[in-house]
Structure formats: structure tokens, C-alpha cells
């Protein structure tokens, strides 16, 4: 079994009296590596897929039967080799103890990724979990109406009407999206069928403004419009 062991020592030789027995107390110790089990991750939406703006739970069970303090590290390959993301210390975790790391990412880290855990105790014994995969995807969005309802626009000359929406990142508690997000606004041409859309990008306030100039291809009637994110690199399409 594991633990400290004493070592008795004596000497004997033919034709000689035997020596006294000397005991070395705690001469050596049997110890073991820290054990890692059940590595897993889950995004806010659940499972191993989620948006870069979500908060991810990375969990693992740790046990060191020698009752040592254990440093537990979370590592991930986000596209360019493994890098240390987080670390904590489990104090005297002789029984199985759950460790949770809360982790967020940024929009440049979208893709199929991998993670693992490392454990090192105070004797410098180490262990490593199996490598698991997870997928960081674009964030979900919500298009919020700002202005453009019940306005009248003259089809003559260069008259325009402002159609404006705000883009919110629902993976980050409806935070305003950054500037430069691609989007489109669509307007019906005959009160039913929508046109091919007018593209633009969000400004620094997360707002996308379209100054709509209808031509004679739009019937003189009450038309409908909608808009949202369309074809952006970091945000999912919404309301298009």
C-alpha cells in the first residue's frame, strides 16, 4: 500500500556474531501520480459547440490519494499549438474533487478546437487527461428595430428614408455588436415579394443605417421591410 515505510538493517557473516539491527524510520515512501478523470466542456447553449462570446464550462475530476496539493491546468489548441488558458490549486484533494474553469473566447478563435487538463502535485508527479474536441462558432445575433416604421418616401428624384436597426450579440447578454458587421435590409416591391436587399455595415454604435431610395420598380403602396446580419465572418445571420 501507499505510505511511509521503515527499513530494518543488520549484517551477518559466517563465523562472526550477527550485528545489531538498525531501523531507518521513514526510509522511503510509496506515492502515486494525481489522477484526472471525466474531462468535459459545455457552452451556454449546451454541448461541445457554442459561440465565441458564450461562457464555457471546462470540468474535470482530480484525486491525489497522497493528499498532496495539486496544480490543475486547462490547456487548449486554438489554432496554433496548445496554450495555457487557466490554472487552479486543489488543496489536499485525497478524495475525488470536481474542478470547473469558466472560459470565454474571442471572435478570432472560431473553428474546431481541442482541450486537455494537466495535473502536477507537490512531489512534482504529473498526469494529463485525454484530449477532447470542441467547436467555437459565430455568435448568435438579434436585429432590433430603431427607426423606419410608417414613414413615407417619395419615389421622385432622390428622396430617401432612413431604415435603421441595431445588432445585438445574444451570446453576450445582448451586448451591442461591434462596428463593421455585415448586414442587409430588404424591402418589398409589391407589398409581398422582397427585393434583393441593400447591404451595409454597423457603425461604432452597433447600428446599421440604410438610406432607402425607392425607384419606380416599387409600387406606390404600403411596403414592408426587414433587416439583420448577413454573411458576416464573426456573427450568424439574423432576420433575413
How confident is the model at residue 158, as a pLDDT? 86
DSSP readout, 111-156?
Answer: EEEEEEEEEEETT--EEEPPPEEEEEEPBPEEEEEEE-TT----SS
Q: What are the residue ranges in the chain where pLDDT is below 50?
A: none
How confident is the model at residue 97, as a pLDDT? 95
> Residue 98: beta bridge partners?
61
Nearest CA among 47, 64, 65, 67 for reference residue 56:
47
Q: What is the pTM of this model?
A: 0.83
Q: pLDDT for 7-47, tens place per residue?
A: 777 778 887 777 777 777 765 565 688 999 999 999 999 99
DSSP conformational letter for 188: B
Residue pair 184/230 in contact (Cβ under 8 Å)? The answer is yes
Neighbour count for residue 193 (Cβ, 10 Å): 8
List C-alpha distances in Å: 220 to 51, 114, 140: 42, 56, 36
- Residue 130 has φ and ψ, to the nearest 5°, of -70, 160
How confident is the model at residue 6, as a pLDDT? 65
For residue 187, what is its C-alpha cell?
424591402
Burial label for 72, CB within 10 Å (0-12, 13-18, 19+), is: buried
Residue pair 168/141 in contact (Cβ under 8 Å)? The answer is yes
How confident is the model at residue 70, as a pLDDT? 96
Residue bearing cell 428614408:
161
CA distance 89 to 100: 11
Residues recorded for the chain? 240
Amino acid at each position: 500500500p501507499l505510505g511511509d515505510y521503515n527499513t530494518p538493517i543488520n549484517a551477518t557473516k559466517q563465523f562472526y556474531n550477527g550485528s545489531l539491527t538498525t531501523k531507518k524510520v521513514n526510509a522511503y515512501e510509496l506515492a502515486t501520480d494525481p489522477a484526472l478523470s471525466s474531462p468535459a466542456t459545455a457552452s451556454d447553449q449546451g454541448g461541445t459547440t457554442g459561440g465565441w462570446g458564450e461562457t464555457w464550462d471546462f470540468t474535470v475530476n482530480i484525486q491525489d490519494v497522497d493528499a498532496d496539493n495539486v496544480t490543475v491546468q486547462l490547456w487548449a489548441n486554438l489554432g496554433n499549438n496548445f496554450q495555457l488558458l487557466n490554472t487552479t490549486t486543489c488543496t489536499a484533494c485525497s478524495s475525488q474533487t470536481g474542478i470547473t474553469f469558466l472560459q470565454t473566447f474571442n471572435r478570432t478563435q472560431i473553428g474546431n478546437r481541442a482541450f486537455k487538463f494537466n495535473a502536477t502535485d507537490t512531489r512534482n508527479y504529473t498526469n494529463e487527461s485525454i484530449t477532447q474536441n470542441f467547436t467555437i462558432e459565430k455568435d448568435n445575433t438579434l436585429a432590433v428595430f430603431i427607426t423606419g416604421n410608417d414613414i413615407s418616401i417619395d419615389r421622385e428624384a432622390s428622396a430617401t428614408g432612413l431604415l435603421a436597426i441595431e445588432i445585438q450579440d445574444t451570446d453576450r447578454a445582448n451586448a451591442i455588436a461591434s462596428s463593421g458587421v455585415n448586414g442587409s435590409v430588404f424591402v418589398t416591391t409589391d407589398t409581398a415579394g422582397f427585393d434583393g436587399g441593400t447591404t451595409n455595415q454597423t457603425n461604432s454604435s452597433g447600428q446599421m443605417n440604410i438610406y432607402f431610395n425607392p425607384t419606380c420598380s416599387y409600387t406606390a403602396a404600403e411596403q414592408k421591410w426587414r433587416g439583420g446580419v448577413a454573411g458576416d465572418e464573426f456573427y450568424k445571420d439574423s432576420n433575413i
